[in-house]
Structure 1
Amino acid sequence: MAETGGGTDEERWKARIGVAHVTVPRWARDAPDRCVYRSNATGTWELYEWDRASDARRRLTDRPHGTALGFLDPAGAWVWWFADTDGDERGVWMRRPFGGDHDEPAVPALGPAHQAGLALGTNGLAVIGTTMTGGTTTTGGTTTTGGTTMTGGTTTSGGTTIHVCRPGTAPRTLYTHPSDAHVGAMSADDTLVAIGHSEHGDSRHKAVRVLRLDGTVVADLWDGAGRGLGGIWDGPGKGLGGMAFSPVPGDNRLLIEHERHSRPEPMILDIATGEQREIALDLPGEVSAAWYQDGSALLIWHTHHARDELYRLDLNTAEAGGLIRLDTPKGVIRGAGTRPDGTVEFAWSSAAHPPVVRSTSGGTVLAPPGPTAPPSVPVTDAWVDGPGGRIHALISRPPGADGPLPCVFEVHGGPIGYDDDAFDPVVAAWVDHGFAVVQVNYRGSTGYGSRWRDAIEGRPGLTELEDIEAVREWAVTSGLAAPKRLVLSGRSWGGYLTLLGLGTRPDNWAVGISTMPVADYFAAYEDEMEALRAYDRSLFGGSPDEVPERYRASSPLTYADHVTAPVLVIAGENDPRCPIRQIDNYVNRLATLGKQHEVYRYDAGHGSLVADERIKQIGATIAFACAHLPG
């Protein structure tokens, strides 16, 4: 077994899950000493508040399945958090005074729903997005107050409603439409709201609309289909998103992420003049941005080849070389924010080093209680020629181990996620047990430009597997992987690709481990959240009724009779993204066919925020692989 730190293999991998971690704190705009952050110090991810002036910290939430979302209002008076039921992502916003002990429904008039964004203003003002799962279909048209009508496309009736909420008054509808939409940002003077919407029928490439609180449309931007305010671009597939108004009241410039040049990049929309200022930077890879607190500069977040860098861009000297690289180590940055004094706080890790929250002023910002997680091994990069271009893969191997090795292809979810040089307890656990791990940034992944990300449209699943197969062939021919001891494993979209790969390429894999997968795409579409239905329509080019042959070709259930490898399926009882019924359909089909399989069900949603549950799941995957791999 591999040595990657003190203790036995069993102690090390469990400690990486069980030790306490913290996220980058969020602070109140007008009271920056008041912060909230998330931590798993109790074994479950919960919300904590932190008063920097006194260094007082305390836990705010205590729920069996944990709490995923929490925010402070600009004054630091109220902490808001989303209360769903057993991980099903359907619930209501709760709030409590900072420093107080009493929780209350933030907007009692709004019933449980899937959340579609939250923007908090002063004096209790909130703009809240909600979605409801609907079943029937209608033909488009918008009911945006003060907006213009846009037609076309078949959409589901669940749709999105955005509410303006003030204490003591009934919520007022700002926007409602059958398509997928979300709240993006509210201006610092509480007069404007930016939303992302897909009224044009493509939720993967949203448009941006800016509204006054009375519903009047101030700006409309859509870069798809060759259209855009103030310019013309070369066709569809040009999404807009990542919205944030300047933090300075009265400065209503809106920061937007665009992809007019085939990759995500920032631009600034001046609401007063309509001017769009694209921020063109001589950096490879992809670029996003956030505001510095005085509005004079941008924090540039640069992602290239699975690693991140931070820069400060002075907006007054941008054209004259005002880009300054900040001192961050090589690795991945999971969250970052600018403080009023100009320093930047960020969460950093690498494959070998556990995460820590640091500041550009030096030192650790927020340390969790107890010991740190044991380290792991660094990753190496591999570039493999594939059918759609060069494929980037990350390789982790036990120290000193010679190939060919038992090898796990740990497939990322999304699909618009990507694997990177970040600390991953799952990968580290496999390495501890003597496995090499391969992570493939297949077509569909972010981080490699818009065309790479969108190459799976119309043929999802099958395209990604072509890239995984190319890297698998490289791993075998290079001597890294033992061809008869290959494990295909993944979570969410990675779990979907696992089942699809086991059915379409049964001779290539000795074991399959699929966690929270799409397994029967027709049933999944019927039961999943409305936002995901809209996403699927954009991905496939229509609904299952409109393009059934595409869904059938990309559904793992279609190929269940071809599966030969033993399969472990892990599923959440309350998962709204990969619902349990469609997983049961697949598992029951395996049972009818007499296929070797096991099922692990847990009482939560799309993943678990509880350390003990995660340890059980990782332990089950490793035990299953070790029990069924030859040799």
Structure 2
Amino acid sequence: MIYRVNYRSEDLHIKGYLGLPPELPAALSHSMAAEADGLHDVTIMETLACSILNTGTNVSESSIDLVWEGRSSASLPKLPLVIYCRGGIGRVGAVKFKWVEEFAAQGYAVFAPTYRGNEGSQGRDEFGGSDMEDVMTALEWLSKLSWIDHRRIHLLGFSRGAINAAYAAAHSPLVSKIILWSGVSDLADTYEQRIDLRRMMKRVIGGTPARLPEAYRLRSPLYYAERIHCPVLIVHGTVDEQVSLQHSLRMITRLQEVGNAPTSHLYDGLGHHFPPPQHIAAIQRMFDWLKA
């Protein structure tokens, strides 16, 4: 089951998607969602059926309230959590519902913030600037839910989302493990490599790396790797033309230099997006690592 969520980050309303394991009874999923709906500044906006197991149909917010009434939060199961940080900006790289469903099907709660300025959220996406707070805020309110296993709160950052995920891991003790999948590690390198993105980055960030070096370093996990103390998994295809493999290789080296021992899953001959069979295998291998 997937729930569309509205929450407050700083003074902005941010959208996100909360996915729960499809094998849970619908009434139990709605009860868990209702606890989130009861938190200050968090609202469940609508309920979507999970397509993997097709467990139900849309239900109204009022029906969630009825399910929750009279039930104790102590009776809810504890679930590990993955916060999935999307890539791209705007419509490019929007939250992949299939990913939310695939992760939830592993028995995990999943939350995917859209970031400010995207998919109906207020504000302006700064490609790793103030929008980093949207992940930090999500971490805080999700950790307050009685059914989240606080020992297993994980982050996954895909492509540009690696910037947001790595920043949160570096600044929050709540994070247990982090996956950086096809992730940007040095945004100045991205500026040099991706001529097609230069205009967007100059507009969003305010200038070039030469003019604003600190703004680009802020958005580069390579430069705060020493603050990431949890286990790290690096996933990357070796022929990725959108985010060069060198981003991950440099991040692996930097993490090793500061005493972290990252695990790497490098896929020979694969690009930024994996074909379905390899994608399914990579997801399973990733969750084997999370569950170890």
TM-score by length of 1: 0.36
Q: CA deviation digits over 1:264-311, x for unaligned, max 9?
A: xxxxxxxxxxxxxxxxxxxxxxxxxxxxxxxxxxxxxxxxxxxxxxxx
Question: What is the total number of aligned residue pairs between the two structures?
Answer: 239
Q: What's the counterpart of residue 409 of structure 1?
A: 83
Shift of residue 518, structure 1, vs aligned partner: 0.7
Q: What's the counterpart of residue 152 of structure 2?
A: 485
Shift of residue 616, structure 1, vs aligned partner: 2.2
Q: What's the counterpart of residue 100 of structure 2?
A: 427
Q: What's the counterpart of residue 273 of structure 2?
A: 607
1:476 and 2:146 aligned: no
Q: What's the counterpart of residue 144 of structure 1?
A: none
Q: What's the counterpart of residue 324 of structure 1?
A: none
**1:104-253 pair list within 5 angstroms:** none
1:614 alignment partner, SS class: helix
Cα distance, 1:578–1:500 mapped onto 2, change above 3 Å: farther
Of the three residues 519, 524, 532, the one matched with 2:197 is 532
Contact 1:411/1:494 (8 A) holds in 2: yes
Task: Could you list the structure 1 runs, at least 4 aligned residues long, displaced by more than 3 angstroms after superposition.
Answer: 417-420
Q: What's the counterpart of residue 226 of structure 2?
A: 561
- Equivalent residue letter for 2:228: V
Shift of residue 557, structure 1, vs aligned partner: 0.9
Contact 1:403/1:482 (8 A) holds in 2: no
Contact 1:529/1:576 (8 A) holds in 2: no
Shift of residue 419, structure 1, vs aligned partner: 5.5
Distance 2:77 2:14 in 1: 22
Q: What's the counterpart of residue 14 of structure 1?
A: none
1:389 and 2:12 aligned: yes
1:509 and 2:175 aligned: yes
- Equivalent residue letter for 1:437: V
Q: What's the counterpart of residue 245 of structure 2?
A: 580
Shift of residue 488, structure 1, vs aligned partner: 0.4
Shift of residue 489, structure 1, vs aligned partner: 0.7
Shift of residue 506, structure 1, vs aligned partner: 4.2
Q: CA deviation digits over 1:529-553, x for unaligned, max 9?
A: 2112232222211111111011112
Contact 2:182/2:243 (8 A) holds in 1: yes
1:456 and 2:125 aligned: yes
1:599 alignment partner, SS class: strand
Cα distance, 1:419–1:535 mapped onto 2, change above 3 Å: closer
Distance 1:499 1:513 in 2: 9
1:508 alignment partner, SS class: coil
Structure having the larger proportion of residues in strand: 1
Contact 2:156/2:165 (8 A) holds in 1: yes
Contact 1:442/1:467 (8 A) holds in 2: yes
Q: CA deviation digits over 1:59-83, x for unaligned, max 9?
A: xxxxxxxxxxxxxxxxxxxxxxxxx
Q: What's the counterpart of residue 227 of structure 1?
A: none
Of the three residues 603, 609, 616, the one matched with 2:281 is 616
Q: CA deviation digits over 1:92-114, x for unaligned, max 9?
A: xxxxxxxxxxxxxxxxxxxxxxx
Distance 1:537 1:423 in 2: 30
Cα distance, 1:565–1:506 mapped onto 2, change above 3 Å: farther
Shift of residue 423, structure 1, vs aligned partner: 4.8
- Equivalent residue letter for 1:559: Y
Larger Rg: 1
2:196 alignment partner, SS class: helix
Structure having the larger proportion of residues in helix: 2
Cα distance, 1:605–1:433 mapped onto 2, change above 3 Å: closer
Distance 1:382 1:512 in 2: 23
Distance 1:419 1:581 in 2: 24
2:210 alignment partner, SS class: coil
Distance 1:423 1:558 in 2: 31
- Equivalent residue letter for 2:6: W
Shift of residue 612, structure 1, vs aligned partner: 2.2
State the identity as a percent.
25
Q: CA deviation digits over 1:553-610, x for unaligned, max 9?
A: 22111110011111111112222221122321111111122203111122222212x2
Distance 1:415 1:480 in 2: 31
Shift of residue 430, structure 1, vs aligned partner: 2.3
Contact 1:514/1:568 (8 A) holds in 2: yes
Distance 1:464 1:480 in 2: 26
Shift of residue 487, structure 1, vs aligned partner: 0.8
TM-score by length of 2: 0.75
Structure 2: 5+ residue stretches without partners: 29-75
- Equivalent residue letter for 2:7: V
- Equivalent residue letter for 1:432: A
Q: CA RMSD in A?
A: 2.1
Structure 1: 5+ residue stretches without partners: 1-377
Distance 2:147 2:134 in 1: 17
Of the three residues 228, 248, 257, the one matched with 1:592 is 257
1:461 alignment partner, SS class: coil
- Equivalent residue letter for 2:257: T
- Equivalent residue letter for 1:447: G
Q: CA deviation digits over 1:304-363, x for unaligned, max 9?
A: xxxxxxxxxxxxxxxxxxxxxxxxxxxxxxxxxxxxxxxxxxxxxxxxxxxxxxxxxxxx
